Chains A and B, each alone.
Chain A
Amino acid sequence: MVRIIVCVKQALDVSQIKVDTASRRLITVDAQKKISDFDKNALEEAVRLKEKLGGEVVTVTIGPEDAKTTVREALAMGADKAYVISDPMFEGGDTMATSYVLAEAVKKIGSFDLVLCGEASVDSFSAQVGPRLADRLSIPVVLYVKKLTLEGDSVTVERNLEDSFETVRVKTPVLLTVTKELNEPRIPSLMSIMKASKKEVVVWNAADLNVAKEKVGEAGSAIRIVSVLAPKVERKKVVIKGETPAETAEKLAKALIQDGVVKQVKV
């Protein structure tokens, strides 16, 4: 029997974000909300472990109330129960404030063997909340897991640390953040989607968690957003076109030589 808590973030589908070129502001109204990609890898792994060992998988999400709809997909993928932590007071929180609320929620949810998170969220990609949460829960943490094996209270994981490839063993309870290489998240069947509609979504607010007001939301944040703007694009956008590929290539070659970016060639 294994009890796993999966942290699931409701993120914007970044591929649907548009840019107003004049102001460089982002247009996000048309972008759908979805479960952040790597969180699905975390959830998939949790469900596979439960299928093998028995037990329970619950998800926890901080976000506006509409997250209740988004987490239905997590339930359809096999989570048993979803917790949505929602309160206007939590809005504008940075990773410090968010990890505080998340830690209080995890403590209230109760005992667990594993907490699994995606390596980062697709929208902000800061990879902060997982390690911060582990520290607040005073449990060990291993980041960027691409393979994991659970035997009793021992977890063996493989991870890639840019300059090295590590195999690490750690005792539960432990928090792991996972990469996309870990697995291929399932696409829920119609049957499991229907079953999911009967599963419970628990909504907790600030009062339910008994959190300190001054430690949540914008008031409890260490950093404040000044602006979010599309990067300036200052490219020449010169179309190179000749009658034949050879002529096109020669025009391009001349332009690159003129710009000084190609000075010599090895023959």
Chain B
Amino acid sequence: MSEFHGVWVYSESMDLMLEMLTKAKELAGKLKAETGALVIGHNVKARADQLSGFGADKVYVVDHAALGVFNSETYLSALTALVKEHKPEIILLGSTRKGKELAARLATRLETGCVPDCTNLSLDEQGRLVSERVVYGGSASATHVFQIKPQIACVPARTFEKAASSEKKGEVMDVSVAQFDAPRTETVEVKPLEAGGGKLEEARVVVVGGRGIEKQEDFKLLESLCYALGGQVGYTRPLAEDRKWFKGDWIGLSGIKIKPVLYVGCGVSGVIQHVAGIRDSQVIVAINKDPEAPIFEMADYIVVGDLYEIVPALEAALKKLLAPS
């Protein structure tokens, strides 16, 4: 039997913790191992108690004044100490910018591998972790298998369903760490970003404008359709980067990845980097003047036409068909 045992999850985001816990329970079940959820911070008892009700066998808590504010050095030293002591065989970390730094450096300190941005995780017949992730700007999915342990994988938000609350409470274990590494950076200022608060990622319907939109004020057409459908408006990278109509937060591989029930692309050509961000949408509608637009290759409904005519007509048609009689 391997000296490594258990499937652990850690993220600074509670939602991500619960999502990863679903996968951790599945993997741990197959490996006949325990699941562990980590809580790192200061005055985090409430968070630990909350987590213990979602099916993790153990909740490891490192609670210390030195961990009051996130710093990669202090948090990394806490994480490394925990992993070295308890030797989990799989560690799932949230694929956020903070999480990916922790993962890469934890893997370096443990002399092991790390796969970021996993879209799926499974086990091979030898019980080794198999990961899938998107590569080559969205044109392919790479499957990797780990050769050594521990196995570290990062999971983006909304990859798995959140774990359901469980009758059986996990055991909350306070763990003390002998020494934390001192921060090596000085934080001058932190401003919270409104960043839509994940609105786009959670929207049931997303209507996206691309380069086919001639003027920024024409987004009114999309907003009007969105209002009717109870959705959110998004845009592609060139509208933010080249035309400077918006700040960041475009939809695509390098921006926000969405998986709404309905995606409506208006004047979106569908370069592979954008497509990588919408691939998991349930139904994709593409409206574009260019019959050769690559987005048509991955659309459920193809409309070759002028978005300026089709979008208002679609809104009118839906209202006509669904209006309470």
Q: Which residues of A contact B (CB under 8 A)?
A: 12, 14-15, 17, 19, 26, 94-96, 99, 122-128, 130-132, 134-136, 140-144, 156, 160-171, 180, 221-231, 233, 235-241, 245-246, 248-250, 252-257, 259, 261-267
Query: What's the minimum C-beta distance from B249 to chain A, rounded to whole angstroms?
Result: 10
* Residue in contact with A246 in the complex, picked from B142, B301, B313, CB distance below 8 Å: B313
List, in ascending order, chain A residues with CB within 8 A of B319's CB: 265, 267
Task: Evaluate contact between A249 and B322: CB separation under 8 angstroms.
Answer: no
Within 8 A of A (CB), among B195-242: 195, 205, 227-230, 241
Distance, CA A160 to CA B138, complexed state (A): 23
Binds A, one of B25-33, B54-62, B164-172, B184-192: B184-192
The 8 A-B pairs at the shortest CB distance, nearest first, are namely A222-B113, A249-B313, A14-B137, A245-B309, A140-B184, A253-B317, A223-B113, A131-B104
Distance, CA A130 to CA B72, complexed state (A): 14
What is the number of residues of chain B that contact chain A, defined by CB distance less than 8 Å?
Answer: 87
Given A132-B107, A140-B185, A164-B191 contact (CB < 8 Å): yes
* Residue in contact with B105 in the complex, picked from A131, A171, A254, CB distance below 8 Å: A131
Given A222-B147, A231-B279, A262-B318, A163-B142 contact (CB < 8 Å): no
Query: Beyond A128-B107, A135-B105, A266-B228: 10 further Cβ-contacts under 8 Å?
Result: A141-B101, A165-B193, A223-B131, A226-B130, A233-B297, A235-B299, A240-B302, A240-B303, A253-B320, A259-B283
Task: Evaluate contact between B108 and A96: CB separation under 8 angstroms.
Answer: yes
Given A261-B283, A265-B319, A15-B147 contact (CB < 8 Å): no
Task: Evaluate contact between A266 and B227: CB separation under 8 angstroms.
Answer: yes
Distance, CA A170 to CA B188, complexed state (A): 10
* Residue in contact with A225 in the complex, picked from B143, B148, B184, CB distance below 8 Å: B143
Contact with A along B13-38 (1 / 0, CB 8 A): 00000000000000000000000000
**B146: interface (CB < 8 Å):** yes
Which of B105, B189, B296, B318 has most chain A Cβ within 10 Å? B318
Task: Evaluate contact between B313 and A14: CB separation under 8 angstroms.
Answer: no
Distance, CA A175 to CA B136, complexed state (A): 25
Task: Evaluate contact between A226 and B144: CB separation under 8 angstroms.
Answer: yes
Binds A, one of B45-53, B82-90, B114-122: B114-122
* Residue in contact with A123 in the complex, picked from B135, B190, B228, B303, CB distance below 8 Å: B135
Task: Evaluate contact between B283 and A170: CB separation under 8 angstroms.
Answer: no
Within 8 A of A (CB), among B71-122: 72, 96-98, 100-101, 104-105, 107-109, 111-117
Task: Evaluate contact between A245 and B313: CB separation under 8 angstroms.
Answer: yes
